[in-house]
Amino acid sequence: MATDTYTRIEDSAAGQKLAGPVGWLDDRLGLAAAGKKNLRKVFPEHWSFMLGEIALWSFVVLLLTGVFLTLWFVPSMAEVTYRGSYAPLYGIDMSEAYATTLNISFEVRGGLLIRQIHHWAAAMFIAAMFAHMLRVYFTGAYRKPREINWLIGVGLLGLGTIAGFSGYSLPDDLLSGTGLRFVNGLVRSIPLVGSYIEFFVFGGEFPGTMIIPRLYMAHILLIPAILLGLIGAHMLLLVYHKHTQWPGPGRTNDNVVGYPMLPVYMAKAGGFFFVVFGFLALMGALIQINPVWVYGPYNPAEVTAGSQPDWYMGWVEGAVRVMPALESTFFNRTWTWSVFMPGVLLMGVLFTALGLWPFIERWITGDDREHHLLERPRNAPVRTALGAAAISVYLVFLIGGGNDIIAIKFGMSLNAITWFVRIGIIVVPIIVFMVTKRICIALQRKDNADLTHGYETGVIDRSPSGGYAERHAPLPDGDQFALTSARERLPQLESEKPAATDEGGVRNPKFRKQSLRHKAREFYFDGSVDKPTSHEMDHAAEHLEGAGEHPVAQGEDFKGISHWGVPGDHEDH
C-alpha cells in the first residue's frame, strides 16, 4: 500500500470554494443525507451485470436520437408527390410520413446517420433486454425478494417490443406497411372481437388515415413514458434489494462485496454509456439498416419478397409461416386458428409463462428464503434446461421466419424448411432439454469430484513399480467456499411422498394437490447431485493431506497446474 496521506476535502482549495454553493443546495434539497447513503452504495463486479446497462444506455440513445427525428418527421398519411433528391422515386405519390422519412434520409444533414443510430439502438435495446433477462433467469436472480422486479422486467420487454414495432411502422414504406398489415391480421384473428378491435385501432378499414398519427403518439409519448416509469421502478428496486452477487470468499447472503457507487461505478457506468453510444454511432455510420427508399411507399396492393419483421418479432412471423392452414366457421363467424394460435396465443403464452415462472418455481421448491447469492446454472439443471429449450424454440421459429432467405441463400427447398420447423419445434426443445440437463448434472459431478478428490495438478508421479498417477491437490479454500456456499441441499423426496390415506385410513383431502406438487418436485430435482456432506469433505481433506508436497524438488518456479487448468505460475498475471 502506498502512503495514505490525503487532504480532507473541506481543507482543500476546491473544497473551500465549493462549500458555499454545496451548503446552499443541501439546505434546500437535503442532498447530504441522501448522498451519504446512496453515493456509498456498494455494487458487486461482474461483466454479466452490465447487460441490463446496455439496454439502459441504448434507451437513452433512443431518447436522444428520437428527439432529433421528431423535428423533421411529419406523422401524416396525407398524400404528397415526392420531389426530393432520390431519383428512382421522383414524382411518385406517397404519404407525408414516408416523404419526410426520405427527407430525413437524403436532405436533412446527419439525418440518415441519426435514423440509423435510432434503429440500431432499438434493435440493441431489445437484444440487451433479452440477454439481461436470460442472465437473470439462468442465475436464479429473480428469486425472493426480486419477483416483482422480474415482473417489471417482463413488462419492459413487452413494451419494448411494442415500441419497436410502432417505430418500424412509422416510415410508411412498403416494408413497414406490410408489417402493419401482418399485425392487422393478428388483431382480426382474435375470435369474436377481432374485427371490432381492428376498427377501433385503425379508425376504420385497413389502412385508413389514422394509424400513423396514432402509432406516432404511442411511439413518442405513451410507450416511452411508461417505459421510463418502469425503468425508474426497476432501478429503485435494484437499489432497495441490493444487487445480487456471485458466491465467493467473503460473500454471503447478508453482504455485498464490491465497489461504491462514487467514484467507481459513476466512472464505470458513465464510461460504459459512452462505449454503448459510440458503438451504436459506429454501427449507424457504417452499417445500413432499414433502407426505406428501396422499398417504395406503402401500397396495400404491393409486397416485396424478403419482407420480415425486426428480429424480435421474427419468431412470431416464423410460427405463422409454418402453421398449417386451420380455419373453422361456426356461429356464422370465421375462426382463423392458423393466424390466432401462432400469432396472438403464442405471444400470450410466452409472456404469461415468463411472468408466472418465479411463482411456479417457488411453488415447486417451496423455497421461501431470500436469495442474494446467484445460483450457478448447473446447480438448477431443470431450470437451466427449460431455459435452453425455450431458446431453442425461439431459434427454430426464427428459422421459420427467415425460411425464404435461407431457401434462396443456401439453395434449399422452402417446403423442406417449413417441415423441418414443424417437426423441429416439437423435437428440438425436447432434445435440448435432455442434453442440457445431462450437461448440468455432469458439471455438478465435476464440482463434487474437485471438492472431494482435489484438482489435477499436472504433476505425474511414477511409482517404484513403474505405474504412473497424476497428483491431485485440494482446491483452495476460497474455491471450496464458492462451490458450496450457495448450493442448496436437495430435499429428501422419498420421505415426503404424500399418502392417499393416513395411517388411520382417513382419506387425505389434499392428496391430489400434494401428489401433483410431489410429481413437479420429482421432475425438478430429478438427477441433481447433492453437494458433499461435511463428513465427505473431512474425509477428502484427510485423503489429500500432504498432496502439495513432492518428493523431488521442482524448482522454486514450479507451481503445478491450477484448478482452472492453467500452469500455477501463470495464475498471478
Footprint of other proteins on residues 416-435 (CB under 8 A)? 416
Q: What is the closest distance, in whole angstroms, from the C-beta atom of residue 169 to other proteins in the complex?
A: 13
DSSP assignment of 509-564, as one string? TTHHHHHHHHHHHHHHHTT--PPPPHHHHHHHHHHHTTTT--SS---TT---B-TT
Stretch that binds other proteins, among 29-37, 104-112, 153-161, 526-534 (CB under 8 A): 104-112
Query: Pick from 282, 295, 292: which is nearest to 113 by CA?
Result: 282
Residue in 291, 366, 478, 548 binding other proteins, rule: CB under 8 A: 291
Grid cell, residue 444, equals 455438478
Say which residues have a Cβ less than 8 Å from residue 300's Cβ, sequence separation at least 6. 177, 181, 206, 207
Residue in 75, 153, 194, 296 binding other proteins, rule: CB under 8 A: 296
Subset of residues 110 to 169 that bind other proteins, contact rule: CB under 8 A:
112-113, 116, 119-120, 123-124, 127-128, 131
Subset of residues 448 to 477 that bind other proteins, contact rule: CB under 8 A:
none
Long-range contacts of 34-43 (CB under 8 A, 24+ apart): 38/239, 38/261, 39/260, 39/261, 39/262, 40/260, 40/261, 40/262, 41/239, 41/260, 41/261, 42/256, 42/257, 42/258, 42/259, 42/260, 42/261, 43/243, 43/256, 43/258, 43/259, 43/261, 43/265
How many binding residues for other proteins (CB under 8 A)? 79
Residue 175 binds to other proteins (criterion: CB under 8 A): yes
Residue 24 binds to other proteins (criterion: CB under 8 A): no
Per-residue buried b or exposed e for 536-551, using 16+ beta carbons within 10 Å of the residue's own CB: ebeebeeebeeeeeee
Subset of residues 38 to 67 that bind other proteins, contact rule: CB under 8 A:
45-51, 53-54
Say which residues have a Cβ less than 8 Å from residue 411's Cβ, sequence separation at least 6. none
Residue 195 binds to other proteins (criterion: CB under 8 A): no
Q: What is the closest distance, in whole angstroms, from the C-beta atom of residue 103 to other proteins in the complex?
A: 13
Stretch that binds other proteins, among 308-316, 326-334, 479-487, 530-538 (CB under 8 A): 308-316
Grid cell, residue 431, equals 432434445
Residue in 192, 193, 303, 431 binding other proteins, rule: CB under 8 A: 303
**CB-nearer residue toward other proteins: 66 or 532:** 66
Residue in 18, 192, 193, 285 binding other proteins, rule: CB under 8 A: 285
Residue 391 binds to other proteins (criterion: CB under 8 A): no
Subset of residues 321 to 350 that bind other proteins, contact rule: CB under 8 A:
none
Stretch that binds other proteins, among 82-90, 342-350, 433-441, 506-514 (CB under 8 A): 82-90
Rounded distance, CA 211 to CA 181, Å?
11
Residue in 182, 293, 397, 525 binding other proteins, rule: CB under 8 A: 293
Q: What is the closest distance, in whole angstroms, from the C-beta atom of residue 387 to other proteins in the complex?
A: 17
Residue 20 binds to other proteins (criterion: CB under 8 A): no
Query: Pick from 570, 553, 573: which is nearest to 561 by CA?
Result: 570
Cα dihedral 281, 287, 290, 292, rounded to 10, equals: 100
Q: What is the closest distance, in whole angstroms, from the C-beta atom of residue 116 to other proteins in the complex?
A: 5
Subset of residues 240 to 259 that bind other proteins, contact rule: CB under 8 A:
259
Q: What angle do CA 92, 98, 102 make, to 5 degrees?
A: 85
Can you give the length of the chain in residues? Answer: 573
**CB-nearer residue toward other proteins: 129 or 373:** 129
Per-residue CA distances from 355 to 58, 125, 158, 380 (Å) = 24, 20, 11, 19
**CB-nearer residue toward other proteins: 7 or 85:** 85
Q: What is the closest distance, in whole angstroms, from the C-beta atom of residue 18 to other proteins in the complex?
A: 24
**CB-nearer residue toward other proteins: 376 or 521:** 376
Residue in 31, 39, 42, 275 binding other proteins, rule: CB under 8 A: 275
Grid cell, residue 266, equals 459513476
**CB-nearer residue toward other proteins: 76 or 308:** 308
Grid cell, residue 423, equals 417437426
- Max Cα distance, the chain (Å): 95
| Pairing assessment for the beta strands 93-95 and 79-81 based on DSSP bridges | antiparallel
**CB-nearer residue toward other proteins: 413 or 554:** 413
Q: What is the closest distance, in whole angstroms, from the C-beta atom of residue 293 to other proteins in the complex?
A: 7
**Could you give the string, one character per residue 491-530, with x where binding to other proteins holds by CB under 8 A and - elsewhere?**
----------------------------------------
- Residues pairing with 94 in the sheet: 80
